[in-house]
Structure 1
Amino acid sequence: MTGAPPSAVFLSYASQDAAAVQRIAEALRAAGVEVWFDRDELVGGDAWDAKIRRQIAECALFVPVISAATQARREGYFRIEWRLAAQRTHAMSDDTTFLLPVVIDDTRDADARVPAEFKAVQWTRLPGSESIEKFCARVQRVLTGTTGETAMFAATENAQSLLPPPRTQAGRAWRTWRWGGLVAAGIAATLYFGLKPGAPRSSGVPASPPPKTAAAPGSEAQKLVAQARKIYDDGDELNRENLLLAEELVQRAIDRDPAEASAWELATWLSYTMVWHSIDGSEARRDQLSRQATRLLALAPESVSARIVHANARLTPGWAGATVQSTREKAIQEIERDLQVLAQREPENWQIQRALATAYRFLNRTDESIAAMRRAVALSGGHPTAVGDLINVLVRRGRHTEAETVLASGLARRPTGRLLTFAVLLKTRWRGDTAAAVSSVESEAWPAWLTREDRGAFFAWQAYFWAGRADPALAVVRGVPRDYLRDANFSGPRAVLSARAYERAGQTVAAQADWRQVVQVAERELALHPDELSALYWKAWALARLGDLETARTLCALIQQRSQGDQPVFLRGTHLSALLATAGLVDAALQDLRTYRTAFTDGYVITRAVLELDPAFDPLRADPRFQEIVQAAPAPAEATAKPGEKSVAVLPFVNQSADKDNEYFSDGIAEELLTVLQKIPGLRVAARTSAWSFRGKNPTAQEVGEKLGAAHVVEGSVQKFGNKVKITARLSRAATNVAVWSKSFGPLEPTDLFATQSELAAAIATELRGRLTGDSTGVAATEMVALVQAAQKGGTKNAEAHELYLRGKFLANQFSLESFARAEALLQQAVERDSNFALAWALLAQVGRLRSGWGNTRPEVEAGYALSERASGRAVELAPDLPEAHLARVNFQLIAFDWKGARASVRRLLELAPTTALESEMRLATALGERDRAVAAGRKAVAADPVNPELRVNFAFALVNARRLEDAEAEFRRAVEMSVASPVGYAGIALVKLLQGKAGEAAAAANRESSGWARTQAIALARWGEGDRAGAEAALAELSEREGDVAAYQVAQVYGFRGDADNAFRWLERALRQRDPGLSFCGSEILFESLHADPRWPAFLRKIGLHDEQLQELR
């Protein structure tokens, strides 16, 4: 009603209340009040819809009529009116009266299904006709401004405790910012249309070309669309407030020009997004999506972007009633054909590929779906929507490791709410790493609004709940403004989450109260929608928890009956087996787990982590059949069993000396303790690199235990003053941080130190052994002392040599060429003080090997090689049973191409220290072309030392050579997550991307590499892959000229990748003359595949002992 007075009152109601509302309208008109009262709610149509929206935007007062009829209708056009009115209040001051809710029967305020804004104002009750005159008088006073009444009355006292509080001034400040953003968007749109007429550009939604009937360029409607599009593109696809704000602007654009196709296109995208992500999956919203998509196609039938969004809308479940599987499958096949036609017209359009991937997914054509989604990600430059959809299909098909790789890349570009929830999903349901999941939720990247959305709230709750942290889990629940969550990951009463958290906290009374509330809310939903499976499921669960097992089991049988045939969507995210276990139906639960594991489904895989962490499965844990299912369930390759009692992590001891340079000493004491414990039979000790990764982070014992797979943690401190030392040590349970043993030693003289270390190691090892076997007798302690003394072979009793060794080891662990040189000097002095100090000789050999492999000059490489050969031989000679000596020797033998000697050393090392031998076994198997063995050993190595970035890189290269590129990328990314400066980490990612044909992504990764020659080589490879021949030649020239003396092998790799055999062999020969350690792996090197047909290739392999005939002799 354009031109209507601004003092009009809008009455909004359900059609069942038309008679009562008619009486209210007549009374108001009799009092001289203009009333907008639509008697034709069921007429519908675009013009009618536009009129209603315009009236709500222009009326002076909005009167929602609340009744049992509105309570009974979960969907209806009046709810759209209510939401629009509630949104309008966000732009009003607190002292503006706009909302005047009226209740016409005995419906309670607290129970009313209305927007939260309605509950923040005073309500009027009109159960009869006696008070209607007072209501009319009040309306007149508000309209004439003769009253102090405001819209923001206190919320009613009987409001539910979990409802959000009334909006405060702080909330107003947020709204002011949001509308300030709209002003900025408007300015941007004005500038855009002033400079470039036409439809606005969008990175998130493909812009529709102006149809013939479009408004003039730069029209008011188009400016509103530009503002809305900016909000949509700059916002987040899970943020409903952003989506609704954009939708309001789009509707205003449609009101001003009903033929503006760009407005209808964006409106369709907004509705599609809300339906697709379950933000609003109501029947009214689905109907609106259908009408919008149809209207858009009528306005712009030839527009590719219009046809894309129309196809996406048709792919949403339930479109046009296509809910029967056979009917829906035919509909999707038709959509696929339409999209294929569009793909031929615009092969570079990522939105077409994304829609195709969705169609393939619904048709169970997994490989085609993933391939199309990968094209969408590549064509869009990593758009978060495409990335999220790719992760979604990978997770649903159980390809979690690939999903982790895609997620890491997506988060690096833009950490959207959807990607952040995927991060928590993978850390909980796949990795079982609840500490990491909680860290994600508590990180700065996790926005506050995400925890108020159903999906974000559920994943935040799950992270805390599975971590056993009930209080923050309950805090998350209290922040959710809806009493029924609706999402693919969790759909059900909000009180389910609080009840389960209360149970975990041991608060039985509170839990029972919330389970009763679950029953009430579920029954309400079932009254409105008898087929609502989620309500039936949670009602059964609640009744089981309340002790009514008979009714719960009856409902379980009903759910099983309804689940026959095509699996309901709800049960693809929430598993029936958990309910059956809760209801005590053990056999049925186990059978469902077996069936779900083997049946194809588009739902989430039940992983080992889910079975181990979800308390719902506790009733099954004692059953051997369940344990078999757990062991067979999908899990990360490096997943291990829960830590045994005789497992321990030794953290770096704290340096409490006044001189902070004494850190080498505190580190050395802890490291020597760790080394001795590693040699005690039956003890499993976390690797040094992983344990030391916690330095400076003040972790809890539980975090250490979970990360390193250890049941116990050793912590301590060292204080050095003058010539004396004081040591304290503590052994605690990782799960509880309760100390099981602690002791202080000292002050000690340097000569006392060796005996103290023996006592310390023996005491801890005895305690761990006693906890498992119950044998803590004197005999057991005596045996342990003997074992410790045997484990300390290769050491020294010379205090000065020991001091030099600790300093040298501290520097070697810093892993830089400068620290290697300083370590070498100190270790040379140590073996001069005690020439029989086998451990010092072994470490000296390792330093030599590292200088040979990472040196920047030819003399440095040669000197390192000679030192490694001499020192490793001396270590083995002095201590033939010392694992460190054989480890040093095999590392030298690998760069000396002594394959027979290396195999013998690895075998001996496996006998002496199986865990220590794993990395060497992996490197030897890689060199000999035994790819499966290399990967198997590598997986065991990273499981034993999970936080070692150098080991991760080496394992990743073994995966590359085994042609397992996606797994390799995941390992490279874990390495750089542990240490951004991890040498060759980003270069490894670049190599994987290059081999996958993604040269652009390879170049981006190459530029982030920290190692000089590795960065230059990666750039040379990536630029060649991009077709930038000049750039590739420049990078290769730099690598050849500046690094040729130390990176001849890497130059040969570049030529091998290019297929330039002559230059590749020329540089391979140079690498051989220079004893380049990289040659150890050239037999399985993927970049040399172009050389395999050349007769020079087998001849060259023979020179380094890797010809097939030579390898056969080794086997």
Structure 2
Amino acid sequence: MPPPTSFGAVFLSYAREDADAARRIAEALRGFGMDVWFDQHELRGGDAWDAKIRSQIRDCALFIPIISANTQARGEGYFRREWKLAAERTSDMAQGIPFVVPVVVDETPERAAAVPDEFMRVQWTRLPHGVPTPEFVAQVRRLLQAPRTPALVAATGPARQAVSLSSTGNRAIRLAALALGAIGAGGVLLWMIPSERKFSQQEKSSPGAVAAKDNQKVNRQEPQGPNEASRLIAQAREVVYDIEGARSEFALAESLLKRAIDLAPDSAEAWGLSALLNMEYVTRTFDRSESRYGRARADAEKALHIDAKNPDALIALAKFQKAKGNVPLAKQLLERARVAHPKSGRVYVELGRLIETTRERFKFNKESLDLVEDNRELLYHSSNMARGLRLWREAVDLSDKLLKQGPSWRAYVGRSITEYYLTADPQKVSHWLDMVPEMKRDEPRAAVMRFRVAMLRRDAAQAERALSVVSSDYIEDATYTGPRALLLAEAREISDRPESAVNQWRLAEEACRARLKALPDDRPARVILPLAVAGQKRFAEARELADSFRSGAMAAHAYVLIGDHSQAIARLRASLPGIQITAATLRAEPRWDALRKHPDYPALLQALTDADASARARGVDP
């Protein structure tokens, strides 16, 4: 994704029933580098949240209200307060300055819409199901770039600018444009994703491989009746089976499949891939909601009703059953998928996930590498497992094998994580992070690692800047799952801003409690809660919460803030042999500064040093 525009932000206002439509619009605009304020987690309520929303509406450049039968049916709702605030702001604006851009996502007629009068004075846009068109994206961008003074507004003219694909080498922008074009109205041309995405041997070794690949000419073809659904499915499959796929790309793939299903409602291929896409949302931590699980199961069952051998549906339903604890049924489904598609790397990845111990799972994955047509996903997961087992040499070797097949931002971040835990050397970690393409640097995994590098350098301002590219207030990723506010609190602690830090600890607590209200068994929120409470100096309450965790870095950090350093060290010691803490990170991370004078610190450091020495003996020299 390109860096956000410098022309101001877009505020999306919607009823909770229209969250999916709003999300599609938000992801499309972000795919073209626009800054979008979109409360996708709906953690609504509280004075701080209300003040934040008022501030965003006051400061945004464009306000997009999502209008639908759902908003018509609700006489009250927080979105109506947002609409009122936006309408009030227009009274302070000169005539002709663009601000409100109403979007209707269904058949709701304008003349009957229950909206402020100010919304009726501007042109409305219709985007059925919230599926954006290239023209809409270009229009929003043009409005953001338009002069904000009345004398110049008229001069910009109402003409719409075409979306230019040839002017950019950005893969994310290009993919967004392709998908948007594919799902537009009937008169919009279908912009085809090139079917061959793999690098040739020459391209793999070329420093400019990514740029050259992304500058390939885009083909345009007219939709051809029944064949259109097949083309849409093929385009979506490119994303679902791409280990590099980002959330914005998945949102566009989801729109492709919705269009394909509309065209071919009896297509097992479309329903099966839709089911797998929904479960990949969960696996990749893009969306772990129960509604996402429900859609995955329903779509898989529809596909299997049409074709009992559909491999995507079998894999998706197996992933669902595993998530719900039915491992035997998951294995049966995956064995059926293996019979239907014996060379599928995805089948072997999911079979490996059914194995209970990491070491046995790692062994299975490595043995499966030569059995499949495309082993990139197996290489990626095997590298991650090797790192978790402190098999540093193998983690590096597997990442290198993956990179020999073509650039991989995930492999670059994986190498940075290995360097972080093994050396905690900001320069060595940054070496790999700097190889991540610009369009992927707002991915939570890359952003969190940049935050950690800045914290190693005691650079609080840079740490906050690293997190500024993450759009969500609640991060869900393998590197960190929890409120962004918690990380901001840590940064403000080292910048000697105690009052500001306490405010972020409070926001982190609110986010965790809201999360636990919706998901009572959510472990990351439970683990983080005592730390957030301790940060507000409610030490007795924090201790009571932390006592239930006998190991782990989060619990140890809570005890550091409480002032019980013995308990903190005990929990770090109990975390071995995992990689939550290493000798290098114990020496370097600011959160452990207070432990270094404790009498038990040398013994802890020695235990960690011994573990790291064992890792070095396997072949990685820090």
Task: Indicate the TM-score class for this superposition, using the shorter chain for normalisation.
Answer: 0.5 to 0.7
Mapping for residues 1024-1063 of structure 1, pairs under 5 Å: none
Cα drift, residue 121 of structure 1: 0.4
Per-residue Cα deviation, 1:37-94 (whole angstroms, up to 9, x for no partner): xxxxxxxxxxxxxxxxxxxxxxxxx99655xxx5xxxxxx542233234456679999
2:352 and 2:239 mapped to 1: Cα distance? 27
Structure 2 residue aligned with 1:294, among 287, 301, 319? 301
Tell me the residue number matched to 1:79.
19
1:636 and 1:393 mapped to 2: Cα distance? 17
Structure 2 residue aligned with 1:135, among 115, 122, 125? 115
Compared with structure 1, are the counterparts of its residues 515 and 264 closer, same or farther at alpha carbon in structure 2 (3 Å cutoff)? same
> What one-letter code is carried by the residue in structure 1 that aligns with 2:359?
T
Tell me the residue number matched to 1:33.
none
1:335 and 1:133 mapped to 2: Cα distance? 48
Is the 1:122–1:151 contact (alpha carbons within 8 Å) kept by the matching residues of 2?
Answer: no
Cα drift, residue 345 of structure 1: 6.8
SS in 2 for 1:482: coil
Tell me the residue number matched to 1:266.
273
Structure 1 window deviating more from structure 2 (485-494 vs 531-540): it is: 531-540
Is the 2:458–2:590 contact (alpha carbons within 8 Å) kept by the matching residues of 1?
Answer: no
Mapping for residues 416-565 of structure 1, pairs under 5 Å: 416-441=408-433, 443=434, 445-526=435-516, 528-529=518-519, 531-557=521-547, 560=548
> What one-letter code is carried by the residue in structure 1 that aligns with 2:278?
S
Percent of pairs with identical residues = 21
Compared with structure 1, are the counterparts of its residues 595 and 121 closer, same or farther at alpha carbon in structure 2 (3 Å cutoff)? same
Cα drift, residue 359 of structure 1: 0.8
> What one-letter code is carried by the residue in structure 2 that aligns with 1:355?
E
SS in 1 for 2:482: strand
Compared with structure 1, are the counterparts of its residues 392 and 299 closer, same or farther at alpha carbon in structure 2 (3 Å cutoff)? farther
The answer as to 2:556 corresponding to 1:581 is no
Per-residue Cα deviation, 1:317-370 (whole angstroms, up to 9, x for no partner): 3x3xxxxxxxx2xx213323443465567654433322221111xx22732x22
> What one-letter code is carried by the residue in structure 1 that aligns with 2:290?
E
Mapping for residues 658-737 of structure 1, pairs under 5 Å: none
2:121 and 2:342 mapped to 1: Cα distance? 63
SS in 2 for 1:279: coil
SS in 2 for 1:612: helix
TM-score between both structures, scaled by the size of structure 1: 0.39
Gaps of 5+ in 1: 1-61, 71-76, 95-102, 155-168, 193-215, 320-327, 565-570, 641-938, 940-966, 975-1115
1:191 and 1:631 mapped to 2: Cα distance? 54
1:133 and 1:231 mapped to 2: Cα distance? 37
Is the 1:382–1:413 contact (alpha carbons within 8 Å) kept by the matching residues of 2?
Answer: no
Structure 2 residue aligned with 1:622, among 597, 602, 607? 597
Gaps of 5+ in 2: 1-10, 35-43, 66-79, 89-111, 126-138, 145-160, 183-188, 197-223
1:426 and 1:170 mapped to 2: Cα distance? 44
SS in 1 for 2:265: coil
Is the 1:186–1:223 contact (alpha carbons within 8 Å) kept by the matching residues of 2?
Answer: no
2:612 and 2:162 mapped to 1: Cα distance? 45
Tell me the residue number matched to 1:356.
351
Is the 1:221–1:253 contact (alpha carbons within 8 Å) kept by the matching residues of 2?
Answer: yes
2:364 and 2:299 mapped to 1: Cα distance? 27
Mapping for residues 223-372 of structure 1, pairs under 5 Å: 223-232=231-240, 236-237=244-245, 239-315=246-322, 317=323, 319=324, 328=325, 331-340=326-335, 343=338, 347-360=342-355, 363-364=356-357, 366-367=359-360, 369-372=361-364
Is the 2:530–2:555 contact (alpha carbons within 8 Å) kept by the matching residues of 1?
Answer: no
Structural RMSD (CA):
4.6
Tell me the residue number matched to 1:29.
none
> What one-letter code is carried by the residue in structure 2 that aligns with 1:219?
N
Structure 2 residue aligned with 1:398, among 378, 390, 393? 390
Tell me the residue number matched to 1:637.
613
Tell me the residue number matched to 1:221.
229
Compared with structure 1, are the counterparts of its residues 105 and 374 closer, same or farther at alpha carbon in structure 2 (3 Å cutoff)? closer
> What one-letter code is carried by the residue in structure 1 that aligns with 2:440?
L
> What one-letter code is carried by the residue in structure 1 that aligns with 2:445?
R
> What one-letter code is carried by the residue in structure 1 that aligns with 2:247?
R
> What one-letter code is carried by the residue in structure 2 that aligns with 1:419?
A
Cα drift, residue 582 of structure 1: 2.8
Mapping for residues 604-623 of structure 1, pairs under 5 Å: 604=579, 606-623=581-598
Is the 1:582–1:617 contact (alpha carbons within 8 Å) kept by the matching residues of 2?
Answer: no
Compared with structure 1, are the counterparts of its residues 515 and 258 closer, same or farther at alpha carbon in structure 2 (3 Å cutoff)? same
Is the 1:461–1:473 contact (alpha carbons within 8 Å) kept by the matching residues of 2?
Answer: yes
SS in 2 for 1:468: coil
2:262 and 2:559 mapped to 1: Cα distance? 52
Count how many residue pairs are aligned between Structure 1 and Structure 2: 494
2:62 and 2:291 mapped to 1: Cα distance? 25
Tell me the residue number matched to 1:653.
none
Compared with structure 1, are the counterparts of its residues 142 and 220 closer, same or farther at alpha carbon in structure 2 (3 Å cutoff)? same
2:587 and 2:393 mapped to 1: Cα distance? 19
Is the 1:450–1:457 contact (alpha carbons within 8 Å) kept by the matching residues of 2?
Answer: no
Cα drift, residue 282 of structure 1: 1.8
Per-residue Cα deviation, 1:461-481 (whole angstroms, up to 9, x for no partner): 112212433332221112221
1:170 and 1:536 mapped to 2: Cα distance? 49
SS in 1 for 2:50: coil
Per-residue Cα deviation, 1:368-407 (whole angstroms, up to 9, x for no partner): x223211333334664321121122222333233212212
Tell me the residue number matched to 2:150.
none
Is the 2:391–2:615 contact (alpha carbons within 8 Å) kept by the matching residues of 1?
Answer: no
SS in 2 for 1:495: helix
Cα drift, residue 579 of structure 1: 2.3
2:500 and 2:416 mapped to 1: Cα distance? 28
Compared with structure 1, are the counterparts of its residues 245 and 516 closer, same or farther at alpha carbon in structure 2 (3 Å cutoff)? same
Larger relative contact order (Cα-Cα within 8 Å, sequence gap ≥ 6):
2
> What one-letter code is carried by the residue in structure 2 that aligns with 1:637?
A
TM-score between both structures, scaled by the size of structure 2: 0.67
2:382 and 2:405 mapped to 1: Cα distance? 15
SS in 2 for 1:488: coil
SS in 1 for 2:475: strand
Compared with structure 1, are the counterparts of its residues 171 and 121 closer, same or farther at alpha carbon in structure 2 (3 Å cutoff)? farther
Mapping for residues 179-198 of structure 1, pairs under 5 Å: 179-182=176-179, 186=190, 188=192
The answer as to 2:83 corresponding to 1:108 is no
> What one-letter code is carried by the residue in structure 1 that aligns with 2:595?
L
Compared with structure 1, are the counterparts of its residues 605 and 105 closer, same or farther at alpha carbon in structure 2 (3 Å cutoff)? closer
